[in-house]
């Protein structure tokens, strides 16, 4: 961190896209290429600005890094408090990375209101980055809500035929969850004040709260409902296929790639560490839902007629793996879970790009309208194949590392869940390869498909970085796993120690609980 000691790098990373927004506002809405060029330039510079984070990130500590802390609304204890650790670092990188590809992919797809579209994209980027980086609950909540608006517009303005329905559904569903979270945030705030006399939304402080199980359960449920809808976990997933089918390509990429991760990130950053004992109580329920999601998502995906909807349901299945690994609460499973978040962003993002490319050419996404495309589009076919393999977790690709670690960790803690979840791996191969076969193999028998052009340079350049990452993360995962190792083990020690201590307390054994806290070097603020 040495070289960056006095630079507010996180603030720069968060708000640089907003500078782009200001620039875009000044540009005439008719000059499309200038608009596109500016947006692309800002997204690329933004990605470049985020690179120092990974370069100067110290993998040997679990502490938050690049921390910025300024009192904001003093009377309420709200702070402008930023920082990243091994869990959020890679998600931040994923966000800046995918945004570049999204803007590239919108080059020809977006014809109307281009200026507003690009503004929405950059605005969204700031919202997402802020949500990953904020360490103050109010600040987090602001960014969390801030993401909703541009995403709502992306679907509602630039979406498909049923875009209004999908956008409203997305918005309201997410809102319902968030409002309850807001209530729980307030409760947490007052509880902390009652215990210490200090008003704060600082999560590192709130982590220290030792709450009785009852309130933990309530607040965990309130936080988690918001996140579970966002993930989305079965049975809260039905907004996702609608949102995906209607959203424009870039919207789907960002939605699948980053926004869904807000849900899983929320669990690992807030729900679990704030309310560990409640999380522990919820483990069976969440694991059951995760396994149902894995199998159910895969089966429903299998029968879809629309490629995009198929990919949307496959997300339900993949995110089930993420949730399963996270709640198995051991180091392999949690690292696998975080890894799978990145994987899903990359491979599902790539799948949506690929579907978008063919949609731009044919204006259909129905499987039955295709067939035999491999012959006409060999380059497209190669990329599609690689991404498909990554999605089904072939060893050597990123998908394998995540699924393997998740299942290995889950197997250690609860075998039955791991066995059921592993069937998802078989089903994954079935639905993806069946789809691939119907779209790419067979006779090229539709006239419209015989004149399709293969990928152009821009499209290839959009996909190449993803393919590089697919193999990099599959062959040399140590680079990425090494970054998160300390943070994940810190997370697990905190959570598991608190769970153990709470159990002691509930058995009336205060001394033993204190002993556990002391051994784990854990600071505790008691609430009675």
Partner 1 sequence: MMSHIWLIPFFPMVGFLINGLLGVRFKRSWIHVIAASAIGLSFLTTIILFVDLMKVAPEARHFEDVLFNWIVAGKFKAQVAFLIDPLSIVMALVVTGVSFMIHIYSGGYMEDDPGFRRFFVYLNLFVFSMLILILANNFLLMFVGWEGVGLCSYLLIGFWFEKDSAANAGKKAFVVNRIGDFGFVLGLFLIVATLSQHGIWSLDFDVVFKNAPLFSTTTVTAITLLLFVGATGKSAQIPLYVWLPDAMEGPTPVSSLIHAATMVTAGVYMIARCNVLYSMAPVSLEVVAVIGALTAFYAATMALVNNDFKRILAYSTVSQLGYMFMGVGVGAYSAGIFHLMTHAFFKGLLFLASGCVMHAMAGELDIRKMGGLKKFMPVTFWTYMMATLAICGIPGFSGFFSKDEILWQSFHRGHIVVWLLGTVAAGLTAFYMFRLTFVAFFGKPRMDDELKHHLHEAPKVMTYPMIVLAIASVVGGYIGVPEVLGGSNRFEKFFEPVFTGGAAHALAHASASVEFLMMGISVAVAVIGIIVAYLFYIKNPELPVRLANGMKGLYTLLYNKYFVDEIYNSLFVQGTKDFATFLWQKVDVGIVDAAVNGVASLVEWSGGMIRKLQTGYVQTYAFSILVGGVVVFVYFFWESLF
Which residues contact partner 1 by CB under 8 A? 169, 172-173, 175-176, 179-180, 183-184, 187, 191, 214-215, 218, 222, 234-235, 237-239, 296, 299-300, 302-304, 330-332, 335-336, 372, 374-375, 389, 394-396, 401, 404-405, 407-408, 411-412, 415, 418-419, 422-423, 425-426, 429-430, 433-434, 437, 440-444, 475-478, 481-482, 485, 489
- Provide, rounded to whole angstroms, the least separation between the CB of residue 338 and partner 1: 10
Q: What is the C-alpha to C-alpha distance for residues 265 and 70, in angstroms, rounded to an integer?
A: 24
Nearer to partner 1, 98 or 439 (CB): 439
Is the sign of the CA dihedral 398, 399, 400, 404 positive or negative? positive
Q: How far is the CB of 302 from partner 1 (least distance, A)?
A: 5
Q: Which is nearer to partner 1, 263 or 372 (CB)?
A: 372
Among residues 63, 48, 62, the alpha carbon closest in space to that of 9 is found at 48
Residue 396 gets the label, from left (phi > 0), alpha (psi -120 to 50) or beta, of left
Residue nearer to partner 1 on the CB measure, 234 or 327? 234
Give me the least distance between CB of 432 and partner 1, in Å please.
10
Cβ nearer to partner 1, comparing 37 with 235 = 235
Angle, CA of 96, 341 and 425, to the nearest 5°? 140
User: CB of residue 2 vs partner 1: minimum separation in angstroms?
Assistant: 26
Minimum distance between the CB of residue 108 and partner 1, rounded to whole angstroms?
26
Residue number with CB closer to partner 1 (97 or 411): 411
Shortest gap between Cβ of 97 and partner 1 (angstroms)?
22
Q: Rounded to an integer, what is the distance from CA 254 to the centroid of its chain? A: 9
240 burial class (0-12, 13-18, 19+ CB within 10 angstroms)? buried
Strands (DSSP E) found in 48-163? 65-73, 78-84
* Nearest CB to partner 1, comparing residues 21 and 444: 444
Q: Report, in Å, the least distance between residue 335 CB and partner 1.
A: 5
What H or E segment, with its residue span, contains residue 177? helix 163-196
Contact assessment for residue 388 and residue 410, using Cβ atoms and an 8 Å cutoff: no
C-alpha distances in Å from residue 42, one per residue of 104, 345, 451: 12, 21, 36
Residues ≥6 apart with Cβ < 8 Å to 81: 67, 68, 69, 70, 134, 135, 136, 139, 202
Provide the minimum distance between the beta carbon of 214 and partner 1 in the complex, in angstroms, as a whole number: 6
> Of 95 and 391, which has the nearer Cβ to partner 1?
391
Q: Residue 463, Cα to own-chain centre: how many angstroms?
A: 20
Coil, helix or strand at residue 136: strand
Closest to partner 1 by CB, 100 vs 386, is 386
């Amino acid at each position: 961190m040495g070289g960056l000691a006095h630079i507010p790098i996180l603030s720069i990373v968060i708000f640089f896209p907003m500078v782009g927004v200001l620039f875009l506002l000044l540009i005439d809405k008719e000059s499309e290429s200038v608009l596109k060029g500016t947006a692309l330039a800002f997204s690329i510079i933004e990605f470049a600005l985020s690179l120092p984070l990974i370069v100067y990130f110290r993998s040997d500590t679990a502490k938050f890094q690049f921390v910025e802390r300024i009192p904001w609304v003093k009377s309420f204890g709200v702070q402008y408090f930023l920082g990243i650790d091994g869990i959020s670092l890679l998600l931040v990188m994923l966000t800046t990375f995918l945004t570049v590809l999204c803007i590239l992919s919108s080059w020809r797809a977006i014809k109307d209101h281009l200026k507003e579209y690009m503004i929405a994209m950059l605005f969204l980027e700031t919202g997402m980055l802020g949500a990953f980086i904020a360490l103050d609950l109010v600040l987090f909540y602001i960014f969390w809500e801030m993401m909703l608006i541009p995403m709502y517009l992306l679907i509602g303005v630039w979406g498909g035929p049923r875009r209004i329905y999908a956008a409203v559904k997305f918005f309201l569903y997410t809102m319902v969850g968030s409002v309850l979270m807001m209530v729980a945030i307030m409760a947490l705030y007052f509880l902390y004040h009652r215990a210490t006399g200090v008003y704060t939304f600082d999560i590192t402080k709130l982590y220290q709260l030792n709450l009785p199980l009852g309130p933990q359960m309530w607040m965990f449920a309130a936080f988690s409902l918001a996140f579970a809808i966002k993930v989305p976990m079965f049975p809260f997933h039905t907004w996702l296929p609608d949102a995906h089918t209607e959203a424009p390509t870039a919207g789907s990429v960002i939605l699948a790639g980053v926004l869904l991760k807000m849900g899983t990130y929320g669990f690992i950053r807030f729900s679990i560490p704030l309310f560990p004992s409640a999380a522990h109580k919820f483990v069976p329920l969440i694991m059951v839902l995760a396994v149902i999601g894995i199998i159910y998502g895969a089966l429903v995906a299998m029968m879809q007629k629309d490629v995009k909807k198929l990919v949307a349901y496959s997300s339900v299945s993949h995110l089930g793996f993420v949730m399963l690994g996270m709640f198995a609460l051991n180091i392999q499973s949690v690292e696998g879970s975080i890894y799978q978040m990145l994987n899903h962003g990359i491979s599902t993002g790539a799948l949506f790009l690929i579907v978008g490319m063919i949609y731009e050419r044919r204006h259909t996404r129905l499987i039955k309208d295709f067939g035999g495309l491999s012959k006409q589009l060999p380059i497209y076919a190669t990329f599609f194949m690689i991404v498909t393999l990554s999605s089904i977790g072939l060893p050597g690709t990123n998908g394998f590392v995540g699924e393997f670690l998740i299942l290995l960790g889950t197997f250690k803690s609860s075998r039955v869940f791991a066995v059921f979840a592993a069937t998802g791996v078989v089903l994954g191969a079935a639905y993806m390869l069946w789809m691939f076969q119907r779209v790419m193999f067979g006779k090229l028998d539709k006239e419209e498909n015989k004149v399709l052009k293969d990928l152009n340079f821009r499209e290839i350049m959009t996909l190449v970085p993803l393919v590089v990452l697919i193999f990099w993360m599959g062959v040399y995962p140590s680079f990425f796993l090494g970054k998160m190792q300390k943070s994940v083990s810190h997370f697990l020690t905190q959570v598991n120690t608190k769970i153990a201590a709470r159990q002691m307390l509930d058995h009336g054994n205060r001394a033993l609980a204190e002993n556990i806290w002391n051994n784990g070097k854990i600071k505790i603020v008691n609430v009675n």
